[in-house]
Chain A
Amino acid sequence: MTVVNLVVNETPVTADVEDTMLLGVFLRESLKLTGTHVGCDTSQCGACVIHFNDMAVKACTMLAVQADGAQITTIEGLAAGDKLHPVQQAFIDNHGLQCGYCTPGMIMTAVDFLAQNLTTDIDEISTALEGNICRCTGYNNIIKSIQQAARVMGADEIADEADYV
């Protein structure tokens, strides 16, 4: 067992964790933050993506002990009170989810991507989603959602870039 101190969604957390406990399990089962989904558990599907020191990572492929000293944001920490993050709102507005299982990971990936590269470019958005799988195959509306969020967040429209249909 190892004592870890970290900040999760702006709340300081101290916990004594098994050295073999995965970060995704720690968030879901110890902290009851079940918005982070564990899909494939083999770092392929991206349902478990969280922000670790402001970088999108897969929580199924990290140990909880590695997060000692880290700042973590999960899907639960994205909204400002009752006001959803523009990416969350865009997923609602554009039917960006069907079953919703992949959605937390899609949104956390999109938020990190737009923070680095505020663009509506379809190719760049698609490339950014390489580590996230939607088994409803709802990619069109996911990309549309991220385009809307980019616009709301201030991205300039790319002249020849139509909405993804």
Chain B
Amino acid sequence: MYDLTYKKAKSCDAARELLAAADDGKLLAGGMTLVPTLKQRLAAPDMLVDLDGVDDFKTIMLCDNNLQIGAMATHAAVADSELVHTHLPGVAALAGQIGDPHVRNRGTVGGSVANNDPAACYPAALLATNARIHTDQQIFAAKDFFVGMFETALDTNEIITAIHIPIDQKCAYVKCPNPASRYALAGVCVARRHDGNVQVAVTGAGQDGVFRADEIEAVLAENFAPDALDAMSIDPDLLLSDMHANAEFRAHLVVQMAKQAVAKLQD
């Protein structure tokens, strides 16, 4: 990797000051994407500011009918959290399916969300559940946050502190993982609020990253059952085609994953 200076921040303020002093500083969370990127010389920051020392960012707690998950909570911590299991078991299950055990021990929700990989799992859950992304400067609704492939509404040097997910709902996430990387070829999160409102978000399949599946939502609003999607078809024109799966196959997967997610929510 290119030469750089590493600094470990002990607080959000310290991280902000370190970033301000760098020409092109980058925040280091779990490093599960950033470290491989640096090793391949695909990025050349002059400074890494490690957030691992910011203990406030690791807490998982309830906050005004929201599950608050600190940006530096690892996937393993979310998957094992009793609070997450109690209030949003679908989110715990999602975290337990990311990558492999070693990735889950290091990778963080903040890092996943900031990177906005088009095949990452968390963006689908955040978009479907109307989560909010809290930063050191503002609060984003998920629908305003995920802008495009690997692109978010974050400003340069803005620091994600936590995500907040309303607990007045149930959600389920089902993905068809790439057998090698475990990234989603297509992953669907279905969230059903206690008042009956249904939202569906898709990851892994969209050319512009995560998106809401309006047609599926409309059908499920009328009839919340897997069978209701039997005749559903998704237009492959806006879906990804690559060596792993073509757009037509992904369109098929989206509907199948949605049906499985709905089935999980019917008990």
Contact = CB atoms under 8 A, between A and B. Distances in A.
B50 A66 contact: yes
Given A128-B101, A130-B182, A131-B99, A66 B4 contact: no
A43 B102 CA distance: 9
Contacts of A14: none
B266 interface: no
A2 B100 CA distance: 30
A109 B102 contact: yes
Nearest to B52: A66
Interface in A48-98: 49, 52, 55-58, 61-63, 65-66, 68
B233 interface: no
- Contact residues of B: prevailing secondary structure: mixed
Interface of B: 1-6, 8, 28, 31-32, 35-36, 38-39, 48, 50, 52, 76, 99-103, 105-106, 180-182
- Contact residues of A: prevailing secondary structure: mixed
A19 interface: yes
Contacts of B106: 57, 61-62
B26 to A, nearest CB: 13
A34 interface: no
Interface string A104-135: 00000100110000000000000010111000
Contacts of A113: 101
Contact of A44 (B3, B39, B50, B180): B180
23 contacts: A19-B4, A19-B5, A20-B1, A20-B4, A22-B39, A42-B36, A42-B39, A49-B102, A52-B105, A57-B105, A58-B102, A61-B32, A61-B35, A63-B6, A63-B31, A63-B48, A66-B28, A66-B31, A66-B52, A68-B8, A130-B182, A131-B102, A132-B100
Contacts, number: 71
B105 A55 contact: yes
Contacts of A49: 102
B101 A61 contact: no
Nearest to B177: A130
Interface of A: 2, 19-20, 22, 41-44, 46, 49, 52, 55-58, 61-63, 65-66, 68, 109, 112-113, 128, 130-132
A142 to B, nearest CB: 15
Contact of A43 (B4, B76, B103): B103
B35 A109 contact: no
B43 to A, nearest CB: 12
A80 B100 CA distance: 29
Contacts of A128: 101
A112 B6 contact: no
A112 B182 CA distance: 21
B6 A41 contact: no
Nearest to B50: A66
B31 A61 contact: yes
A128 B137 CA distance: 39
Contacts of A55: 76, 105
Contacts of A131: 99-103
Nearest to A2: B6
B102 A56 contact: yes
Contacts of B39: 22, 41-42
B7 to A, nearest CB: 9
Contact of B100 (A42, A66, A68, A130): A130
A106 to B, nearest CB: 12
B41 to A, nearest CB: 11
B32 A43 contact: yes
B6 A19 contact: yes
B100 A61 contact: no
A112 B101 contact: yes
A65 B35 CA distance: 13
Contact of A57 (B4, B5, B36, B102): B102
Nearest to A68: B8
